[in-house]
Amino acid sequence: MTTATVGDGRRAAGPAVRESEYVGTGQLFRFFLRRSRLALVLWVLGTAGLYPLTAVALAGAYPTQADLDKLAASMSGNAAVIAMAGPDLELNTVGGQTAWQLSAFGAILAGLMSTFLVARHARSGEESGADELIGSGVVGRGAPIAATVLTVLLANVALIVIVGLSLTACGLSAAGSWTLGAACGLTGVVFGGLALIFAQVSSTTRGVWGMSGAAIGLAYALRAVGDVSNNPARWLSPIGWGQQARAYAGERWWPLAMLVVVAVVAVAVATVLRSRRDFGSGLLRQHPGPSSRAWGGGAYELSWRLARPAIIGWILGLMFGGAAYGSIGDGVDDVISGDSDLTGSLTGGQSAGSALVDGFYGSAVLMFAIIAAGFAVNLVLRAHRDETAHHAEPLLVAGVRRTTYLGSHVVLALTAPVVAVVAAGAASGLVYGIVSGGTPRVAEFAGAGLGYTPALWTVVAVTVVLVGAAPRFAALSWVVVAFAAIAMFFGPLLKFPQWLLDISPFTHIALVPLDDVRWTPLIVLTVIAAALIAAGTTAFTRRDIDC
């Protein structure tokens, strides 16, 4: 007997019932791998490949121990350095420098990869109705979530293995290499577990992305605050746990065990929550709006209402990030007592002092602009997602023109990210003035953010072209953002040629307030963006709509 009768006549679940919950997990797992094989390869190789590239570049840039000692002396104990990437452990070694430069950045990439997989396989299918076809077959209720967990595990285990093997092959210690790889992969699994919880809470893919993005951003901020102030806040961050494993600096395995435990707990919580919600819904139910203004002001107001929570969240998130960087104040001045190369990279060859502060905050605003570019891409891609999910059909059937439908998303993408970057710059300038005891530099830093408007518009324009002319390849718009980030963080270290750096639209914008505004690139990028948006919109009106 596999079941038993309880007092009220219901049949209690036995082993066969529990096993049936996961029937079809293997087949679904293989389907997920086929569906996401290209994305998996790009995510895993793109993230893992940064580690050996960085190690080789560091070994070439600092060939002697004296060079490494000089570099470490310029960075150790500096609040700006610690806030950006993590604790300054063994920075006089290639391994220590590799871990410092990539431990936080790699963990964020792993977290985004895991979020992508969870959003795609644990929520997107339910939202579009595709999972109804899967559920009509011989598939247990728990199979989709189990297959998603296996997919996330496989991707992050691949990260661990590739990072560990490649860094060991570069001549770094095996213990440190595998610790750094494990910190990256296990942090990714933790964020995947959290995304799985959010997939049960939210009924939409964008809700999963919004909550997961906030969690990753909060983890980074807590790590930065905890490391700079040397307080327990770092232990509230999965990114901090991975860094506390101390790769190449006297490895500790117990912080990695913390990541494993939290990941298991997160998956267990998500599984329980999945059993307590209806198919296609979330624990946070969406309520209908007032019937008197169901469609409000048309497609533009509808797009605004749907995107408003994410827009507010992104603006507040970047403002918080700007305030966090502003709180460093003039602490960045400490770095000028060390390596002249590092000083030159921040000052553009100008004399140190205030130029170093300007260079640091100019670089911070550039980082916020690249982050906002990801938000801009996501806003445009919503038009494509709504099209493929058949959400655009009611609007188009009701007489909304295609240009209006696409334009309602493009307008938000052209404005909201710019507001977010300007807000981040303003917050940074305000807090900087408070901490340093000088005059707040709100207008100056906000203006630096405003200067990236043409670059952001160019990213939007490329996405519009892909959505309009080649919707199957719309996801390639993320390559523009990824390349801009790599060029910013690793371009000088990897010695990218100038022509390669010039591919990124952000390269052409002056690093204000360090440099004076260059108007010609702003005008050229604006014209290019306008032309591409017009071309993409025209292509969208002439192709078949997936309705």
Give tens-digit pLDDT for 199-227: 888 878 878 888 888 888 888 888 887 88
Which residues are within 8 A (CB) of 265 and not within 5 positions of it... i.e. 6 or more apart? 193
CA quadruple 226, 232, 238, 240: dihedral positive or negative? Answer: positive
- How far apart CA 100 and CA 91 sit, in angstroms, is 8
Burial of 103 (0-12, 13-18, 19+ CB in 10 A): buried
CA quadruple 487, 491, 496, 498: dihedral positive or negative? Answer: positive
Residue 157 sits at φ, ψ, to 5 deg, of: -65, -40
**Cα–Cα–Cα angle for 384, 390, 393, nearest 5°?**
100
- How far apart CA 108 and CA 116 sit, in angstroms, is 12
Which residue, among 139, 145, 441, 424, has the nearest Cα to 267 in the 3D structure?
145
CB atoms within 10 A of CB 308: 12
Determine contact, residues 215/194, Cβ cutoff 8 Å: yes
Query: What tens-digit pLDDT sequence spans the chain (547 residues)?
Result: 344 443 444 444 445 445 577 788 888 899 889 988 888 998 999 899 999 998 998 888 888 999 888 888 877 766 666 777 888 888 899 999 999 989 998 999 999 999 999 988 887 767 666 665 665 566 777 788 999 999 999 999 999 999 999 999 999 999 999 999 999 999 999 999 999 999 888 878 878 888 888 888 888 888 887 887 777 878 889 999 999 999 999 999 999 999 999 999 999 999 998 888 766 666 666 655 555 554 456 888 888 888 888 888 889 888 888 887 787 766 655 544 444 455 555 555 554 456 777 877 888 899 899 989 989 998 999 888 888 877 777 888 888 898 999 999 999 999 999 999 999 999 999 988 888 777 788 889 999 999 999 999 999 999 999 999 998 888 889 889 988 888 887 777 777 888 998 899 999 998 888 788 889 999 999 999 999 999 999 999 988 876 5
3-class SS at 26?
A: helix
Determine contact, residues 22/143, Cβ cutoff 8 Å: yes
Query: pLDDT tens for residues 148-160?
Result: 999 999 999 999 9
Determine contact, residues 187/259, Cβ cutoff 8 Å: yes
- How far apart CA 104 and CA 242 sit, in angstroms, is 8
What are the residue ranges spanned by the domains of the chain?
22-282, 296-547
- How far apart CA 514 and CA 444 sit, in angstroms, is 11
- How far apart CA 237 and CA 224 sit, in angstroms, is 10
Please give the helix or strand (H or E) that residue 4 lies within, else none: strand 4-5
Query: pLDDT tens for residues 351-377?
Result: 445 677 787 788 889 989 998 998 999
Tell me if the pTM is above 0.85. Answer: no
Determine contact, residues 354/374, Cβ cutoff 8 Å: no
Determine contact, residues 46/184, Cβ cutoff 8 Å: no
- How far apart CA 425 and CA 5 sit, in angstroms, is 65
CA quadruple 380, 381, 384, 389: dihedral positive or negative? Answer: negative
- How far apart CA 82 and CA 183 sit, in angstroms, is 18
ω into 63 cis (within 30 of 0)? no
Which residue, among 126, 242, 136, has the nearest Cα to 188 in the 3D structure?
242
According to the model, what pLDDT value does residue 339 have? Answer: 46
Would you give the distance in Å from CA 187 to the centre of its chain? 14
Scanning the structure block, which residue is given the tokens 């939210």?
202
Which residue, among 476, 447, 247, has the nearest Cα to 381 in the 3D structure?
476
Determine contact, residues 184/160, Cβ cutoff 8 Å: yes
Residue 202 to residues 7, 206, 209, 239, 268, Cα–Cα distance (Å): 36, 9, 10, 24, 17
Q: Can you give the length of the chain in residues? A: 547
Would you give the distance in Å from CA 533 to the centre of its chain? 25
Burial of 47 (0-12, 13-18, 19+ CB in 10 A): buried
What is the Cα gyration radius of the chain?
24
According to the model, what pLDDT value does residue 110 have? Answer: 94
Determine contact, residues 473/377, Cβ cutoff 8 Å: no
- How far apart CA 446 and CA 451 sit, in angstroms, is 9
Which residues are within 8 A (CB) of 71 and not within 5 positions of it... i.e. 6 or more apart? 62, 91, 92, 97, 338, 339, 341, 342
Determine contact, residues 256/188, Cβ cutoff 8 Å: no
Residue 257 to residues 108, 188, 263, 366, Cα–Cα distance (Å): 19, 14, 10, 36
Residue 265 to residues 75, 197, 203, 530, Cα–Cα distance (Å): 37, 10, 22, 49
Residue 361 sits at φ, ψ, to 5 deg, of: -75, -30
